[in-house]
């Protein structure tokens, strides 16, 4: 890595006619600082390509941050990627079958606390994980939810296996690194009568053959509860009274640069056919009159607010109430 950097530093001072510098020295300096922070090394041509993309992203971020906004954007490990590249590597690229027209969740009396945060109620939420370049968000949403539901029921917080879901849950319309849905993954676990731990069935961020060992089952699902589509109040009810809830929504480019604050967007859609990312609602609250969800993501602790984000609540923002679900154990 050090060699590659040295080479480009030497070459970079040579005049280059075919590469019009549509970035300032300051922007190039910011790019080098970013490369250093995220431990990146590029061959010369790729260096200029990434610098160009980085510069465009950085300008969008700065522009967004000077406007009237409820959330800030910032640099992160995705800052030198186009959204098309990001989508191919990290999001669900096909429309999913999420349309629980009549879910099984039964609501309470409609009286809820103003805020709930399962991270603070006890040892119920595992640390943020990292899916890497594999469209397996749905497995992390699933394990995150089942980990919490199991911990609330038993007092024992386990780390459960995403890879088992990537490798073994195909019969329930799941497709490993090419996508799936938490509700379908819960159905698989219920049918399979078991999910192994992270330690016994570790994550590889790649499709593999199923290596499930029934004798090592550590958790299971008795019943799958779907939230009736677009009934966001039922999600509030479930999070307030029972446990964190898995949901899917549509990620658009502005979300890739999210840093902190209450995310809301006019770019995303609110329908079931557009959802492309699955995550876990671990609580809710409000800030300056804007209600929000507290959400655990699976892009590592370095992304967003220590791996979490807030998203506006009450408007089915980006279709977040289109296909929510949770298991009973
Ligand atoms: C900023 O946006 C909020 C919410 O949309 C709005 O109430 C407020 O008036 C705006 N402020 C300015 C200075 O435009
Ligand atoms: C949706 O369901 C249909 C019918 O079960 C199935 O053929 C199709 O592959 C599913 N789509 C996805 C993206 O899983
Ligand atoms: C919940 O949703 C899944 C997948 O979308 C579906 O297969 C299942 O039948 C639903 N479960 C119930 C109890 O409605
Ligand atoms: C989607 O947004 C449109 C425009 O704001 C709104 O009229 C519609 O009711 C929303 N649909 C759902 C399912 O949330």
- Give how far the C-alpha of residue 62 lies from the chain's centroid of Cα atoms, to the nearest Å: 23
* Ligand 4 atom closest to the CA of 321, numbered from 1: 14
Per-residue pLDDT at 38: 95
Q: How far apart are CA 94 and CA 96, in angstroms?
A: 6
CA dihedral for 243, 323, 281, 206, sign (positive or negative): positive
270 lines ligand 4 (CB under 6 A): yes
Which residues on neighbouring strands pair with residue 113, listed in sequence order? none
pTM for the model: 0.91
Which residues on neighbouring strands pair with residue 263, listed in sequence order? 311
Instruction: Provide the annotated active-site residues.
Output: 137, 277, 297
Q: Residue 96, CB half-sphere, CA atoms under 13 Å: how many?
A: 36
76 lines ligand 3 (CB under 6 A): no
96 lines ligand 3 (CB under 6 A): no
Give the residue, by CA position, lying nearest to ligand 2 atom 8: 173
Contact 136, 162 (CB under 8 A): yes
* Ligand 2 centroid, distance to 180 Cα (angstroms): 10
Q: How far apart are CA 210 and CA 187, in angstroms?
A: 17
What ligand is nearest to the CA atom of residue 179?
2
* Ligand 4 centroid, distance to 230 Cα (angstroms): 9
* Ligand 3 centroid, distance to 235 Cα (angstroms): 16
228 lines ligand 4 (CB under 6 A): no
* Ligand 2 centroid, distance to 96 Cα (angstroms): 7
276 lines ligand 3 (CB under 6 A): no
Long-range contacts formed by 41-46: CB under 8 A, 24+ apart? 41/1, 41/4, 41/5, 42/4, 42/8, 43/4, 43/8, 44/7, 44/8, 44/11, 44/12
What ligand is nearest to the CA atom of residue 67?
1
The per-residue pLDDT string of the chain (329 residues; one tens digit each, 9 = 90 and over) reads 444 444 444 444 444 444 555 899 999 999 999 999 999 999 999 999 999 999 999 999 999 999 889 999 999 999 999 999 999 999 998 888 887 778 888 888 888 999 999 999 999 999 999 999 999 999 999 999 999 999 999 999 999 999 999 999 999 999 999 999 999 999 999 999 999 999 999 999 999 999 999 999 999 999 999 999 999 999 999 999 999 999 999 999 999 999 999 999 999 999 888 999 999 999 999 999 999 999 999 999 999 999 999 999 999 999 999 999 999 99
Q: How far apart are CA 265 and CA 217, in angstroms?
A: 41
Contact 187, 224 (CB under 8 A): yes
Which residues on neighbouring strands pair with residue 73, listed in sequence order? 258
What ligand is nearest to the CA atom of residue 70?
1
């Amino acid at each position: 890595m050090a060699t590659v950097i040295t080479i480009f530093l030497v070459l970079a001072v040579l005049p280059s006619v075919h590469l019009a510098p549509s970035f300032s020295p300051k922007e190039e300096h910011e790019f080098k600082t970013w490369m250093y922070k995220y431990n990146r090394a590029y061959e010369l041509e790729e260096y200029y390509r990434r610098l160009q993309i980085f510069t465009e992203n950085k300008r969008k971020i700065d522009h967004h941050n000077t406007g009237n906004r409820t959330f800030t954007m910032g640099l992160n490990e995705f800052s030198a990627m186009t959204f098309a590249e990001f989508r191919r590597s990290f999001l669900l690229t096909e429309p999913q079958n999420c349309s629980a027209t009549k879910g099984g969740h039964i609501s309470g009396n409609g009286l809820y606390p103003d805020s709930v945060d399962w991270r603070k109620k006890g040892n119920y939420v595992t640390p943020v994980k990292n899916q890497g370049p594999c469209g397996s968000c749905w497995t992390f949403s699933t394990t995150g939810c089942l980990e919490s539901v199991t911990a609330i029921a038993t007092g024992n917080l386990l780390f459960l296996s995403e890879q088992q879901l990537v490798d073994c849950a195909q019969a329930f319309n799941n497709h490993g690194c090419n996508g799936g849905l938490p509700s379908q993954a819960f159905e698989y676990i219920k049918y399979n009568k078991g999910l192994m731990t992270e330690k016994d069935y570790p994550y590889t961020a790649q499709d593999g053959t199923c290596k499930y060992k029934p004798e090592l089952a550590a958790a299971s699902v008795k019943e799958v509860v779907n939230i009736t589509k677009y009934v966001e109040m039922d999600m509030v009810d479930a999070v307030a009274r029972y446990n964190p809830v898995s949901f899917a929504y549509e990620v658009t480019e502005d979300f890739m640069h999210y840093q902190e604050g209450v995310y809301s967007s006019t770019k995303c859609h609110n329908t079931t056919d557009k959802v492309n990312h699955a995550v876990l609602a671990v609580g809710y609250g409000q800030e300056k009159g804007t209600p929000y969800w507290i959400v655990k993501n699976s892009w590592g602790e370095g992304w967003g607010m220590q791996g979490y984000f807030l998203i506006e609540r009450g408007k089915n923002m980006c279709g977040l109430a289109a296909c929510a679900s949770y298991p009973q154990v």
